[in-house]
Every structure is written in C-alpha cells, then in structure tokens.
Amino acid sequence: MAPPTREIFGNILPNLRLAFYVLSALATLIFSYGVFKRIALYRAGRSERIAGAFGQRVMLVLEHGLGLKRLRRDPFAFLMHQFIFWGFVVLFIGTVIVALEHHGRLGIYRGPFYVAVSFLLDLFGLLFMIGLGMAAYRRWWVGRERFRTAPEDLGTLLLLFAIATSGFVLEGFRIAASGFPVSEWWSFVGYALAEVFSALGLEGPSLWRAHLYVWWAHAFLALGFIALLPFTKLLHMFTSPANIAVASLAPKGALTPVSLQEVEERGTVGLESLHDLSWRHRLALDACTRCERCQEVCPAYHSGTPLTPMGLVQQMRRRLADHPSPERRGRLPGEVISSDELWACTTCRACVEHCPVLIDHLELIVGMRRSLVAEGNLYDASARTTLTNIAGSSNPWGFPQEDRGKWAEGLSVKTMKEVGGADVLFWTGCFASYDPRAQRIARAFVKALQRAGVDFAILGNEERCTGDPARRIGEEFLFQERAGANIETLNRYRFDQIITSCAHCFNTLKNEYPQFGGRYTVRHHSEFLADLVREDKLPLKANLEEALTYHDSCYLGRYNEVYDPPREVLACLAGRRPLEMASLRERGLCCGGGGGHMWMEYKAEKRINHMRLDEALATKAQVVATACPYCLHMLEDAVKAKDLDGSLEVKDIAELIADRLE
Amino acid sequence: MGSILVVAEHRRGHLRAASLSAMSVGKELAGHPHSAWHILVMGKGISAVAEEAARYGAASVLSADHELLEHPVAQVSASVVAQATTAVEATFIVAPVTPWTKDFLPRVAARLGAGMVSDVVGYEIEGNTVVFQRTMYAGAVNAAVMITTAVKIICARPTAFPKAKPEERPSAIVPLSIEIYPASIGTTFLSYEDRPSERPDLTEAAIVVAGGRGTKGREGFQLLEELADLLGGAVGASRAAVDLGWVPADLQIGQTGKIVAPSLYFAVGISGAIQHVAGMKDSKVIVAINKDPEAPIFQVATYGLVADLFAAIPTFVEAVKQTKEA
Amino acid sequence: MKVLVACKRVPDPSAKIKVKQDGSSIEAEGLKFVISALDEVAIEEGLRMKERRGGEVILFSVGNVQAEEQLRMGLAMGADRGILVVYEGFPDSDLVARAIAAIFREEQPDLVLMGKVSPDTEAGQVGQLAAEYLGLPQATFASKIELDADGSKAVVTREVEGGHERVEVQLPAVITCDFRLNTPRYASVPMIMKARAKPITKAPLDGLGVEAIAKVKLRNLLPSPQRKAGVRVESVKDLLRCLKEEAKVI
C-alpha cells in the first residue's frame, strides 16, 4: 500500500498553478513594498544607538515575544494569543513544508511524517480558530464597554477567520473527494467536515469543483493577508518582537539624558517634531496592537484627563503615517499631542510596565515635555515657581538652604561635614528636611538607626534637591546641574551606602546619578529597616493592633521592584501580613503626586489620590503605611478632603517602627 | 526753612484717615524750627473737604477745586502740587502713602528737582537735617536716609504715625487757581470701576486673613470675612477649604495657588501643611489660630494662639473695634 | 514696535538678607540674585507685544557689572538686546530715572515698561521720574495694556485703590506693571544658551551725559529687629497687644 500522503496542487491545473505563482509574486511584491516603506520610515527617523547585549535581547524576545510574560496575569488573553500565535506558526510551517516538498521534491511528506504533520496542522488550526473566537468574545462581548474598536480590528480578525475556515473547508472537500483515505482520519477536523459534505450528498466531481473554488478563495485570502500585512496591525508580528528586541536595557527608573552638545548639534530639545522621533520610537509606535492594557492601568486616564497612553501612541503613529517625509515637521507637543495630555501624566510607569510589547510611553511623554519646557511652556505658574526655586534655593518651596539641616537639631545627628565619613549616609530629601509632617519621618528613621547602633551621618545643609522634579517636568538641564552639584558634594565624603526615605530621591540617586558619574550603593529606608528587623537589631513591642494596609509607591515599586521589604517590615510590626488594596504591586495605583503633579495644579474630573484612598478604605484598614513623603502627603490630603481624620491614619514605615521600638 | 505742604487725600466727601497721619507729620516737622504748615486738597466740589481740613490747625488750606480735578491724571495732580508748593514756598512736601500719591508724586519730585523718599516709617531731626527711616528688602532692613535737595518730598506710611487731632482755631481756606493744559498732557482719564469686592487683591493686600478646614465651612469663613473687612485686608484659604467648595479657587494660597507676602497673615483653622506654608512663608508677621496645639503651623507662626476660632475670632473682632473707636 | 524694558538685578526675595557690620550695604556674598519679579512681568509684556506686532525688545539695567547676569536671563526670555549702564554703588531712584531718560533719547522707543516697584529698595518712583524728565505720559500699576491698531495710543487698566481705572495714553509713554498683567514665561536652559549670542552694550554713566549726583543719600543700614518666632499668646487680648505694640501691624 502506498504510504499516506496527498498530492500537492492536486486539483490545480498547470496554467492555474502559474496564475497562482503570479499572484503570489504580486502579493510578495506588495508585501515587500509595504515593508520597504516601513523601513524607510524608520530610517528617516533620528539615529539612535542601542546597547549590544545580544544575549539579553534574545532572552527578552523569548520571554515577552513567545512567553508573553506580561499576559500571565490574564490567563484568558494569554491562552487566546498563544492559540492564535502558535496556530499561525504551525500552519505557516505546514505551508513551508508543503512548498519545500513540492518544489524541492524532498519526498518526506509521506508516511508517518505526513500523518503527524496533518494531525498537528488540524489541531493547531483548530486552536487558531478557537483563539480567534476568544479574541472576538473578549473584544465584542466581555469588553464591549471598554474597547475602542477600529474597523481594522474587525477586518483582520475576519480575514484570519476566513483563511482558517476556508482552509478546513478545503481540506474537507479534498478528503471527501478523494474518498476518505484512512490516514486522513488524523486530520480530524477536515475529516469531520468531509463527512458533512458527504452527508449533504455531494459527490466526486462536484466535490472537486467545490474544492477548486474554495482553494482559490483560500489562496486569495492568504495572499491578500500577505499583501496587506504591512499595512495593518498584523505587522505587529514583526514590529512587536522587534520592539521587544531593541528595548532599553537601562534601569527602569532612569530617563535618558541628553547633553547640551547634542542639543546644540540638533538644534532641538526633546521631541519637538516628528523629525525628532528616532527609528526606535517609530518602531515602537508600530508595535502597538491597541490592546489597551496601558490605558486600563493609567491613573490619568481614570481620573478623566484627556491622556491615554494608547491614544498618545496611536495619535503619533497616525500623524507619522500622514507625514512620512522628514521635511514636513508636524509639531508634536501642542499640535499632535495636546499639552494638557502631556502634563496629565504622573510618570507612574504603569503603562510601560503593562505593555506586552515593551513600548515606553513615558519616554515619549517626557521627550515632548522637554520640548515644551525648552520653549518656556510650563503647565502653570506654580511649575515655574517650583523650577526657579530649585534653581535658586535648591528646594521646590524656596526655603533657605541654611535651614535644611534644622530638622535634626537636638537629635545628636552627625553631619558629614563634621565627621567626614560614616557607614551610612542618610539622604533626607527636600520633604523630610522642610515639611514638618515629613520631618517626623526623618526623626523616626534616625531613632531607629540610633537604636540599631548604625553609624550614619547626614549632609545637613550641604544636601540639595536631587533635581528629580525638574527632570520629570522636563527641565533636563536644571536636573543635570543639580545632579552635578550633589555628586561633587557626595564625592567629598566616605560612606558605604546611601539610604534615603524618599522614593523619588531613591530612584534618582540609584538609577540616574550614575549617568553623571555618581555611582553609589543606594538603598531605600524600607529595605534597610527590613534588614535591621531581620537581624534583630530593632526590638519591637508586641504586635500592632490596628489593621494595616500598604500603599506601593510607584518610584519604589514599579520603578525599582521593591515590593517585599516594606511588607516584611509591616508583617513584623503587626504579626501578620498587611492587608492588600485592590491595585497592588505592579498594578499599584499611583498616589497622584509624581510627574511634577505635586508642583502643579492640574485640573481633572477626579483626584487620583482620592481614588487610591477609596481603595485603602475598602480594605477596612485603620492605618495606611507609606514609604515615600509624596505618597504620605497626597494620601493625607485625601483623608482631610474626605474628613476621615479620626478613622484613618497615614504613616510612614519609619514612623510605625519608631512608635513601636522598645 | 520754607513751609511744609501736606497733600491730603479725600474720598466720598471726607478726608481719608491716611491723610490725618501725614498731617501729624507735617505739623510736627513745622515745629522744628518754627515754620508754617499748609494742607492741599484738590478735586471737584470739595468745599466740605476743605472745611474739614481747616479744623486741624494748619496755617492755611489750599483748595484746588476744578472740573479737571475730578479724575486727575498724574501730570495734572503733579501740576497742582507743584503750583501749590510755589504758592506757599514749601520746602517740604508730605503725603500719605497711597496708590494716588505713589502715582504722581515722583513727577513733582522731578519737576521741582526734589529728592523723594517713599514709605517713611520714622524720622529724626538732627540739627538742621532730617534723617528719615524706611524699610527695604521686604522689611528685613531699616534704612536711614537723607535728602540732599532744597525741596524734600516724603510719603509717610499711615500706620507708623498717629492721626492728627482737630484744633480750636480753624485754618483759612485759600482757593488755589490752577493752570492745566489738558491737550499737552497726552493722558486721558476714561473710566473708573469699583472692584466687585471692597477687599484688596490677595497678592497685594497688606493684611490677609486665611481659613482652612477648621472653619468648617461658610459660617467660619463669614467670621474671617468680618475680620478682614475690619482690618481692610483680603481673604484667603488653604487648599482644603477650596477643595471642599467653601470658597472659590482664586483664594487658594499655596505652592500651587497664590504666593503672598503681606505684613500680617492670619492662618485660622489651617494646619500648616508645607504646600500651604510655601505660599505665605514670607509674610512678615504670621498669626496662627488653631485648636490643635501640635499643628505644624505653630512652627512658622510669629504669634500662636491655641483656641477655638469660633470663640477667638469674634472676641478679636470686638477687641479691634474697641481700639479703633479709642 | 520698539519697547524699552527694565531688567533690575535684585536679591532673591526668599534669601535671608544680612547687613554688613558697618551698615554701608547688605552682605552680597553668597546671595543669589534674580530679575525683579515685576520687571519679568514687564519683559513678558514687551515680548508679547513684539510677538503680535514685530519690533524689538531692549532691556536696560543700571547697576554694577554683575547685572549682566540678569540681562542674560531677560534675553533668554526672548528680548533682543541689553544695555547695562554701569554704576558701582547704590543709585538712587532719581539717578536711575535720568539714566533711563538718556537711553530713551538715544533709542527713541515707542514704550518704556518696568515693574511698578522692585523688591529691594521698594521705592516705586523710577518710572514716574523718568516720565516727567522726558515729558512723557505715564500709566502706573497696569494690569492690562491694550495698544491701538497703529500703535500710537494705549488704553491701560490701572489697579488703584478700591477698583480699576482706565486711562488712554499717547505713545511714547512710560507704563509700570502690576502682577496682574501677565504670567511671565519660563526661561529654560536651552533658551539661556540661545541668548548667549545676543548683544549687551555696557555704557558708563558719564558716557550718557548723566551726572552722578544723588538726591537721596543713604546714611546707614540696620537689620530690622528679628521677630521672635513661635511666641504663644494666651489670649485674644494678648494677641492684639502684640500685633499693635510689638509688631505694629495693626
């Protein structure tokens, strides 16, 4: 008996085969043209160098591109995409095998191999269709309120569905028409369809005719798919993994510096126009599949501002598509993206953290902010006051620099000026230095340090604002100037590590100061306290009675992945793990103070800090523990606004520890 | 030494209190050594004002009553003062510090080649010179200055000098005929509109009464408004009061609101969060009234009163009223 | 439209001012200097006029050579060039006004703008003195300036006691600015860099034909008595007494 196989192009006569090849060539040409145009668009962008690290990049593609790491929390979507993806891949491989078999006359497509492949193709084809069904269900049923659907979304789904359906139907006709060969039983879907067709009374010639028509339909659809690919979101098959591959490998919390020299050469600062978008930015814009995950987690979006990260990306992509030539310089901030949108961002990084294809929306937003600020356009006068104060008085409020160390008076705290060095440098930060409420955090932390016998010193009035607010607002050079000054001061003294109680200072000192030569071991006070607690250096009184919940600070959590140490500390205090709010850890809801919002009067429908407080209230906790003075301030503001002073307290982890020290 | 000319300001048919302070300065300067002091009033239909001014014992009251002086522009006022100065051979011109005098008096100085010192808070007569005291750098520095020219112009800060007391003998009222050529001036008065609120603008006011959450809403703010009106100050608020909808947003004082630096700031029922303090830290005198003795506001206040504002403010208002009557 | 705008160098208002031992001046060592905030308002207004009607914004400053720093900041905001009248010492308002008059005669601008008062000397006379010396109309405490179509007149809304006054002035004129006029733009570092190429001419006082005589002489400076911080008063009566007698603010 002849080994199981099937005749490739069986029903297709030579002249039709020729027609097919011509069409294929045409489709390939259109595809190539589309791809070529895209690549030209990227190359028209500003040049940008990326770090090598080939191995790391391959891992990223495997992790995110194949492993869909960011979809793990959404099992439905994870499966859906895997079905579609692997279904497509296997079907594609199947087509390649068939092509090789036919043109290369390999003679492998027979026998057990043939049967195995046929089975797999049917299985994965089915999974593919199930995946498509899941996608349709997700977008048009479950998410009908949530998703904004473009005609393209429906179109591509239908196209893929049609290709898969026609493929199976085709198979069914072939199996029926070729008399149900036994081995075809393994192509179970096709076999089942074949039985249906048979049952409908179709026979031999009519089956072959039907097969022919469906074959051409399938061919048109498939070739159409290939031709249209570069012009639709289907391009993400290439652009998304590509974007993942070229993702920034710099620490998450570090914004990219730009030198004055670069600015002088380029003549622009930040992303002023489409012309300033680098090839990497342009690729990122193409990688977006409109999955809306970024939007879902965006506090600015949920508080009723015009900003949505996905909207921003799509608007820029469309504008770029309309004006591909570099001579046409559409102004980005102000024209393509409104300044209201740009200032609405709190730089919480939820969008970047949740994007499955690693688009960095924040880089785009800050890039455009830099351009606005370079022309003197700030959101409001208070942002201006803040920047001029940071420049003139080294703190956002304009308090005298001489008063900066006064919070420590009477606490026997050494200054670096006095001692020249210590094991630990406690970086206090502007809030804890000047704000009476936040000064309590510093004093509490000092109490803990002294109790644990830690050798530490502060900079006192040699400490100056890290410049973080300036960088987030987009006044990059003021930030660099502040960083340079602080690094000079820091380099005068000896210390093993810098500990800070502010998440913003922590992030900047740790991840951004190295950009300017300031390389220090920097840790957050919650990490240090967790160590001290673990080492039994902080004897604590018996368990805290009040119910505690913990608010993840964006700059501590998402930016630096410090989620557990604060929780450990709280667990030790309370004898049980703290209650968790609905949005926790990577999904933590911002307090609303970042991105310069502490320093601007941004008008929105809802207040982000109120939204976060509502989550805290839902846990029924009596104390909200924070690890950053910005978060403390914003949440206390919300408590006051809702008149909840009696029932809910907001306290820093250091305060909670100091209160319970024996 | 020549005579002293006091430029008096009036409003709605009465001399303004500030002018009375200037008059006491003029009168005292006229005593050392003996010389005459005169008062100048200008306006339209001001006979009652002139009569009132005549009760303070000046040698004469010059009354410039003219159509064009109803809404005089700076050059016109300057012209009148210059003419009055010549008429009485004054070597000292004293005026109260008000927006009106600040506007035109320097022109008089330029016209007469006179040195001018504004916002005088005190003076000392040393031999035959007078040394004037004024503040600079938002009150941080006291400057002792002298005027080197023959004719001297000083603007006196009303709160620094007592008000002149009426005397027995009325002064002679001398009409001052003036020459004004409007066509050559190049400035035309168009209109005047009262501000919707009598209160001064928050950023300009010398006294600000601000309320926070402790006011518990409109009733509390009404007390503050009464105090502000009594003192001629403006009303402000902390962010909490604005967020709770008790007052409009343009009253918000703070890092992201208005930044003020009045001579006197009342922080009533305000806890003193840093964002608020940033908006008023440069106030010269800060009074904190709050129930909570631990409130951070007490750390920045010059004077702190731990009390319930609903009791303290009305008592304070009463006390102020009594002193004003005295 | 040619606008001449003041750009005065003053200590940062948040800074702690100390007086030298000999009382001759303030301690400038270690002090941060900025453009007087109201002059920034004036510069902003000049820039807006230039943006609407074309022309030139020329900054001027009368003071020591370090004032160049502030002129650079003003140029960074967008002004075209700067004139620094060098005078080491403490010029009185009259001297500054005569210097402005000399610059005016050379430059023949359409408008002279400046802040209504500066936060250091707080005299508030310069604009009016200059206007009189030049025989020009003036409008002080401007919160709104509306130029007419051909730039020959301006309707100015002035902040006076109790309300707003509107006056019409023929140009050229001197207008002093109130905070309510506008919100000045921010001069970012890139803008400061761009401004480095703009010219600043330095002119000594006598070069302008201005006599360096002071009409008001400073005898000495004294620090104001430091108010004690954090005095707790026991009663309302106590408070009122402190405010009236000690602080003298009521």
For the stretch B203-225, pLDDT in tens is 888 899 999 999 999 999 999 99
Q: Which residue has the higher pLDDT, A598 or A662?
A: A598
Pairwise CB contact (< 8 Å): A633 & B275? yes
How far is the alpha carbon of C191 from chain A, nearest alpha carbon, in Å? 6
Q: How confident is the model at residue A52 (pLDDT cuts 50, 70, 90)?
A: confident
Q: Residue B34 pLDDT > 80, yes or no?
A: no
Q: Residue A245 pLDDT > 70, yes or no?
A: yes
Mean pLDDT across A608-627: 96
How far is the alpha carbon of C208 from chain B, nearest alpha carbon, in Å? 19
Q: Which of residues 95-114 of C touch B (CB under 8 A)?
A: 97
For tokens 């410090």, the residue is A562
- And the tokens for A96? 């390649």
Q: Which of residues 445-484 of A touch C (CB under 8 A)?
A: 475-478, 481
Does residue A601 sit at the B interface (CB-CB below 8 Å)? yes
Does residue C168 sit at the B interface (CB-CB below 8 Å)? yes
Do B3-184 and B207-325 share a fold?
yes
> pLDDT > 90: what percent of chain A?
70
Mean pLDDT across A95-107: 85
Q: How far is Cα A437 from Cα C1, in angstroms, rounded to an integer?
A: 52
Least confident of A299-313, A329-343, B85-99: A329-343
Does residue A393 sit at the C interface (CB-CB below 8 Å)? yes
For residue A372, the chain C residue with the least C-alpha distance is C188
Angle between helix C93-107 and helix C126-134 axes, rounded to 10 deg: 50
Q: What is the pLDDT of residue A652?
A: 97
**Residue C152 CB neighbour total at 10 angstroms:** 11
Query: Which residue from B243, B273, B299 is facing A641, i.e. has the nearest CB?
Result: B243
Q: Which of residues 54-83 of C touch B (CB under 8 A)?
A: none
Q: Which residue has the higher pLDDT, A382 or A456?
A: A456
Q: Residue A261 pLDDT > 90, yes or no?
A: no
Q: How confident is the model at residue A2 (pLDDT cuts 50, 70, 90)?
A: low
- Check if the beta carbon of residue C60 is closer than 8 Å to that of residue C103: yes
pLDDT digits (tens, 9 = 90+) for A637-649: 999 889 898 899 9
Q: What is the pLDDT of residue C227?
A: 67
C172 preceded by a cis bond (ω within 30 of 0): yes
Backbone angles phi, psi at C81, to 5 degrees: -150, 170
Mean pLDDT across C153-180: 94
Q: What is the pLDDT of residue B17?
A: 87
Question: Could you write out the three-class secondary structure of B91-117?
Answer: EEEEEECCHHHHHHHHHHHHHHCCEEE
Domain ranges of chain C: 2-221
Strand ranges for chain B from DSSP E: 3-7, 10-11, 14-15, 37-43, 60-65, 90-96, 115-126, 129-136, 141-147, 152-156, 172-175, 187-194, 207-211, 234-237, 264-268, 285-290, 303-306
- Work out how many CB contacts closer than 8 A connect B with C: 243
For residue B242, the chain A residue with the least C-alpha distance is A641
Mean pLDDT across B60-76: 91
Mean pLDDT across C194-205: 92
Give B-chain residues touching A636 at CB under 8 angstroms.
273
Give C-chain residues touching A402 at CB under 8 angstroms.
16
Secondary structure class of B120 (helix, strand, coil): strand
Give C-chain residues touching B259 at CB under 8 angstroms.
none
pLDDT digits (tens, 9 = 90+) for B239-256: 989 988 899 998 999 999
Task: Report the phi/psi class of residue C228: left, alpha or beta, with left for phi > 0 and alpha for psi in -120 to 50.
Answer: beta
Q: Residue A167 pLDDT > 60, yes or no?
A: yes
How far is the alpha carbon of C217 from chain A, nearest alpha carbon, in Å? 31
CATH class of B207-325: alpha beta
For tokens 């029903």, the residue is A11
Q: Which of A632, A640, A643 to mutate to test the interface with B (most CBs of B within 10 A)?
A: A640
Q: Which residue has the higher pLDDT, B169 or C99?
A: C99
| Cα–Cα–Cα angle for C3, C8, C11, rounded to 5 degrees | 155
Does residue C190 sit at the A interface (CB-CB below 8 Å)? yes
Least confident of A208-222, A646-660, B170-184: B170-184
Give A-chain residues touching B272 at CB under 8 angstroms.
436
For residue A436, the chain B residue with the least C-alpha distance is B296
Q: What is the pLDDT of residue A4?
A: 76
Does residue C51 sit at the A interface (CB-CB below 8 Å)? no
Q: Residue A328 pLDDT > 60, yes or no?
A: no
Q: Residue A326 pLDDT > 60, yes or no?
A: no
Give B-chain residues touching C16 at CB under 8 angstroms.
140
Q: How confident is the model at residue B198 (pLDDT cuts 50, 70, 90)?
A: confident
Q: How confident is the model at residue A484 (pLDDT cuts 50, 70, 90)?
A: very high
Mean pLDDT across C105-123: 95
Q: Is the ipTM of this complex over 0.85?
A: yes
Range among A97-101, A354-358, C238-242 with highest mean pLDDT value? A354-358
Q: Which residue has the higher pLDDT, A201 or C178?
A: C178
Q: How far is Cα A502 from Cα A427, in angstroms, rounded to an integer?
A: 9
Mean pLDDT of chain A: 92
How far is the alpha carbon of C75 from chain A, nearest alpha carbon, in Å? 13
Residue C147, C-beta contacts closer than 8 angstroms, at least 6 positions apart: C1, C49, C53, C153, C154, C171
Give C-chain residues touching B71 at CB under 8 angstroms.
165
- And the tokens for C45? 């207004």
Q: Residue A633 pLDDT > 90, yes or no?
A: yes
Q: How confident is the model at residue A325 (pLDDT cuts 50, 70, 90)?
A: low
Pairwise CB contact (< 8 Å): C12 & A393? yes
Q: What is the pLDDT of residue A108?
A: 83
Q: How far is Cα A417 from Cα B30, in angstroms, rounded to an integer?
A: 60
Q: Which of B76, B97, B103 to mutate to test the interface with C (most CBs of C within 10 A)?
A: B103
Kindly state the helix (H) or strand (E) to which residue C157 belongs, with its residue range: strand C153-160
Q: What is the pLDDT of residue C43?
A: 98
Q: Residue B326 pLDDT > 70, yes or no?
A: no
Q: What is the pLDDT of residue C91?
A: 86
Q: How far is Cα B231 from Cα C250, in angstroms, rounded to an integer?
A: 8
Q: How confident is the model at residue A394 (pLDDT cuts 50, 70, 90)?
A: very high
Q: Which of residues 243-302 of A touch C (CB under 8 A)?
A: 260, 263-264, 269
Q: Residue A240 pLDDT > 70, yes or no?
A: yes
Q: What is the pLDDT of residue B244?
A: 87
Q: Could you give the dihedral angle defined by the CA atoms of residues A431, A436, A442 and A445, in that order, rounded to the nearest 10 degrees?
A: -140
For residue A596, the chain B residue with the least C-alpha distance is B256
**CATH for C2-221 (1.10.3260.10, 3.40.50.620, 3.40.50.1000, 3.30.1330.20):** 3.40.50.620
Mean pLDDT of chain B: 91
For residue A385, the chain C residue with the least C-alpha distance is C186
Q: What is the pTM of this model?
A: 0.91
Chains with at least 3 CB pairs less than 8 angstroms from chain C: A, B
For residue B278, the chain A residue with the least C-alpha distance is A397
**CATH for B3-184 (3.40.50.620, 3.30.1490.190, 3.40.50.720, 3.30.1360.120):** 3.40.50.620
Q: What is the pLDDT of residue C93?
A: 95
Give B-chain residues touching A595 at CB under 8 angstroms.
none
What chain A holds in terms of domains, given with CATH numbers, is 14-243 (1.20.950.20), 257-374 (1.10.1060.10), 383-659 (no CATH)
Pairwise CB contact (< 8 Å): A400 & C14? yes
Pairwise CB contact (< 8 Å): A478 & C189? yes
Q: What is the pLDDT of residue A263?
A: 87
Domain ranges of chain B: 3-184, 207-325
Q: What is the DSSP letter of A376?
A: T
- Check if the beta carbon of residue B46 is closer than 8 Å to that of residue B160: no
| Cα–Cα–Cα angle for A405, A408, A409, rounded to 5 degrees | 100
Give A-chain residues touching B277 at CB under 8 angstroms.
397
- Check if the beta carbon of residue C47 is closer than 8 Å to that of residue C57: yes
